[in-house]
Structure 1
Amino acid sequence: MPRRAAEGGGKAVQRASSRGDSAFQVIILGSSGGPCEDDVTGLLVRSTATNWSKNSVVAVDAGILMSGIGRILERYTTIERDEKTKIERPTISGGPFVGLDIPNLTARANAAYIFREIIASILVTHPHLDHVSGLAMNTPAVEFQSGPKTVTALPSAIAALKNHVFNDITWPNLSDEDGGAGMITYQRLVDGGNMRLGRGEGKGYVKVCEGLVTKCMAVSHGSCKQRYNPETGKHHRAESAVFTTESVLLPSRRVSIDASELRTFSPAHYGNSGKDAALATVESSAFFIRDQLTGAEVIIFGDVEPDSISLEPRNAGVWEAAAPKIASGSLRAIFIECSYSDSVEDGSLYGHLCPRHLILELSALASKVLGCQKRRKESSESRKRKRRESAPGLPSELTEQPLSPKSLRPRKPSKSEAEIATSRPAKQDETKVQAQPASLEPESERISIEQPSPVDQVPPLHGLRIYIIHVKESLMDGASPREQILAELRERAEEAWLGCEFYAPSSGDGVFI
């Protein structure tokens, strides 16, 4: 029941220097990777510029969704009663949803309101149950007057949702495809972004809610044995041998399928020939989410394995896309899994990360950032050199200093003047360079790549925040796995001289970025 004052629970975790300079708020509905079902992966993301308007929030994964929202509202909903009119009015007194106007008295009714009216779409990184079970359970709460809820993902994830979840067998077909109920609609993304959409830094991104756009990149999440389908000529990843993505091969979504129809699609039909079973990569994804007002970005990963032990390493492509954004300062944070501590061996990771592998991945990212910073520095120096060469004979202090509106363009100096200029002590030149406005030489360009200064050099990932999600709970007394993982990450990151900050938010936290 709603309380008359906020008590315990989640908190608005402050990570930016102030809420005023935050572009994003990320609300953690579920932060673990199981095995308990009440805290599995689910995040809400909004642009702070949209001020809780209709369709201003996007969910990233939905292992938990409405129940996570309701749990937070239960802690922070206060009922105020007007003694004159006897009317009761609900308000949110604290927590990550503070500032949102709610119309109902109960937390569950307001959770449904947020799901229907405030959340525009659900981004699905991959179709494992700990990332989509809340989506399936909550979809019947969609009301037709608010329109279908958009489910956005790579085609492989949507194929799995169609064939294995919303298939009239596991769960009713609530989609608007194949004669379904029309409560959800699928938005299929292009791996790496649709280059026909957007422009400039936003090229390839698609709108997912008010104020936010996204692009998606496929990553690998372990491997499993998949059957070879002679009809399609491949080992299927997201599809099973019974349900394929090709509608012409799919007999029906009837609850009962005739045995003669089923035989064609049965794994047993293929026997045990050499290419019947093979290891195939389980596909997951990482979403780049961009705030349209500020150009700031965050990356949110689904489950992901390290490139070093992957059958199909794909993280390097994500880091390649992320590095220039870090070098320019637009990428503010990465949400990424670290399911286990370093006590778990590689053979038991099952497509997940642990601190030793996450630090190696971030080191690969740092290397690419250093390369971007070096190129930015070289480009800046090249532009300065071209400006000097465009006006030969001018003293360097005249060519580099901007002219005021009232200044006369300097005449070409005489030989004696040129000799005086070139004979000036180096100390004066250094003083003049130091007097240049700071904006002309960004901090990222001051990092010396080839000749590092122990005093002035900045670590390559300085200022980047890493938020750890999908921590597997031990269900044992003693130290929290989250605390152990954080300690191992921070120690290894210091040794690797990365410069990033690590956090492990809990369910109910609100992070401003």
Structure 2
Amino acid sequence: MQRFLLYLLCCVAWILNASAQEPAFQVIPLGVKGGLDESNLSAYMVAAAGTTDYIAFDAGTLYAGIQQSVNNGLFPGRSVTTVLKQNIKGYCISHAHLDHLAGLIINSPDDTAKNIYGMDYCLDVLKSNYFTWKSWANFTDAGEKPLLNKYHYASLQEGKETPLAGTNMFVTAYSLSHGKPFESTAFLIRHADNYLLYLGDTGADTIEHAQNLSVLWKTVAPLVAAGKLKGIFIEVSYTNAQPLNKLFGHLTPALLTAELHTLAGYAGSVYMKHLNVVITHIKPAENAEAIIQKELSDANTTGVQYLFPEQGRVMFF
């Protein structure tokens, strides 16, 4: 009986300690959807908690998302353009599809000087197809001349940690398969000894005939086991009804569930309990979000905590 009471007290102490911990990150979703509505496309402002120095992870929507955030009272006394110019210190772009960078391009004339971080396969497309004088003014410091030198392309090397200028955060990039042979990127964000993992669009290893996610899960598994990984942002674009040959490098609830079991195999199932998994990039379809929520919940044997972001609503991790 005494042993049981001691065990119970330890559990209560652990719960109280966990609940008392200050959040390490704050995230403002500027866009959460996977298409159709150009005012709500993939973009997430991430800052170390207690600061207002953000990096935008993807930038499908900027202005409309910042406006919604301002409307929700997240930046009292600040205008949309002030937040864009002063609070966003840079951009990490996972891949060069328009739903992940249209906001960056459209808002570039009113923006301030900052870095665009990405893997070379992403930055090369920006140089060749977007920031050119044929499609848009070249606001960067490389590519087609004349150069307006507002943005600096900051190339990320896979597996190498890089400081994010203007913040006290660091990022490490990992390649993802997004409809082979096309690539996307996962960003492991660090502040002090705490981490967030943001994935751009990705297919499952089984469908992509790749090992990208398996390598990523093996890399972050020790962080999960140590309680240092505060959340994973990952897409589920389609319901389970989507034919496997029509996924175009995306995930369904069933495929994500299988991937999380792979992570659990590396980290240990017990450490998956209550891990925050934020579902991004749901494609527009009738009742798609409700169906995806149910399909994820019904198959959730890992015990992770699924979260569904809302545009302009702050999240803490």
Question: Could you tell me the TM-score, scaled by structure 2's length?
Answer: 0.90
**Contact 1:60–1:125 at 8 Å: present in 2 too?**
yes
Instruction: Return the letter of the residue paired with 2:168.
Output: G
Query: In the aligned structure 2, how far is the partner of 1:35 from the partner of 1:311?
Result: 29
Change (3 A) 1:126 1:19: farther
Query: In the aligned structure 1, how far is the partner of 2:236 from the partner of 2:273?
Result: 20
SS at match of 2:125: helix
Q: Which residue of 2 aligns with 1:160?
A: 125
Change (3 A) 1:485 1:153: same
Query: In the aligned structure 2, how far is the partner of 1:182 from the partner of 1:67?
Result: 26
Query: In the aligned structure 1, how far is the partner of 2:35 from the partner of 2:303?
Result: 30
Deviations 1:417-451 (A, max 9, x none): xxxxxxxxxxxxxxxxxxxxxxxxxxxxxxxxxxx
Q: Which residue of 2 aligns with 1:510?
A: 314
Q: Indicate which of 226, 236, 252 corresponds to 1:328.
A: 226
Query: In the aligned structure 2, how far is the partner of 1:368 from the partner of 1:20?
Result: 26
Q: Indicate which of 444, 447, 471 corresponds to 2:282.
A: 471
Q: Which residue of 1 aligns with 2:149?
A: 182
Deviations 1:140-175 (A, max 9, x none): 0024xxxx2210000110000000100111111111
**Larger Rg: 1 or 2?**
1
SS at match of 1:39: coil
**Contact 1:332–1:463 at 8 Å: present in 2 too?**
no
Report deviation, 1:311: 3.9
Query: In the aligned structure 2, how far is the partner of 1:19 from the partner of 1:150?
Result: 35
- The runs of 5 or more residues in structure 2 that have no matched partner are 1-16
SS at match of 1:222: coil
Query: In the aligned structure 2, how far is the partner of 1:309 from the partner of 1:161?
Result: 27
**Contact 2:277–2:304 at 8 Å: present in 1 too?**
yes
Change (3 A) 1:102 1:20: farther
Q: Indicate which of 158, 172, 176 corresponds to 2:137.
A: 172
Deviations 1:129-148 (A, max 9, x none): 000000000110024xxxx2
Structure 1 segment 82-481 matched on structure 2, within 5 A: 94=73, 97=74, 100-103=75-78, 110-143=79-112, 148-178=113-143, 179-193=146-160, 204-223=161-180, 281-292=181-192, 295-370=193-268, 459-474=270-285, 476=286, 480-481=287-288
Deviations 1:360-410 (A, max 9, x none): 11110000012xxxxxxxxxxxxxxxxxxxxxxxxxxxxxxxxxxxxxxxx
Question: Could you tell me the TM-score, scaled by structure 1's length?
Answer: 0.56
Instruction: Return the letter of the residue paired with 2:306.
Output: F
Query: In the aligned structure 2, how far is the partner of 1:301 from the partner of 1:23?
Result: 19
Report deviation, 1:209: 3.8
Query: In the aligned structure 2, how far is the partner of 1:492 from the partner of 1:352?
Result: 18
Deviations 1:314-363 (A, max 9, x none): 11111011100011111111000000110111111110000110011111
Q: Which residue of 1 aligns with 2:69?
A: 72
Instruction: Return the letter of the residue paired with 1:176.
Output: D
Q: Which residue of 2 aligns with 1:492?
A: 299
**Contact 2:156–2:162 at 8 Å: present in 1 too?**
no
Q: Which residue of 2 aligns with 1:273?
A: none
SS at match of 1:121: strand
**Contact 2:40–2:64 at 8 Å: present in 1 too?**
no
Deviations 1:23-67 (A, max 9, x none): 1111111111012211110110011132x2xxx110000000122
Query: In the aligned structure 2, how far is the partner of 1:65 from the partner of 1:18?
Result: 32
Instruction: Return the letter of the residue paired with 1:512.
Output: F
Q: Which residue of 2 aligns with 1:32?
A: 33
Report deviation, 1:481: 1.2
Query: In the aligned structure 2, how far is the partner of 1:358 from the partner of 1:17?
Result: 27
SS at match of 2:264: helix
Query: In the aligned structure 1, how far is the partner of 2:207 from the partner of 2:217?
Result: 17
Query: In the aligned structure 2, how far is the partner of 1:208 from the partner of 1:320?
Result: 28
Query: In the aligned structure 2, how far is the partner of 1:485 from the partner of 1:211?
Result: 35
Change (3 A) 1:368 1:208: farther
Instruction: Return the letter of the residue paired with 1:286.
Output: A
Change (3 A) 1:349 1:471: same
**Contact 1:22–1:48 at 8 Å: present in 2 too?**
yes
Query: In the aligned structure 2, how far is the partner of 1:28 from the partner of 1:164?
Result: 27
- The runs of 5 or more residues in structure 1 that have no matched partner are 1-15, 77-93, 104-109, 194-203, 224-280, 371-457
Instruction: Return the letter of the residue paired with 2:272.
Output: L
**Amino-acid identity (%):** 29
**Contact 1:29–1:65 at 8 Å: present in 2 too?**
yes
What is the number of equivalent residue pairs in this alignment? Answer: 299
SS at match of 1:120: strand
Deviations 1:113-139 (A, max 9, x none): 111111110000000000000000011
Instruction: Return the letter of the residue paired with 1:465.
Output: N
Change (3 A) 1:118 1:18: farther
Query: In the aligned structure 2, how far is the partner of 1:19 from the partner of 1:102?
Result: 30
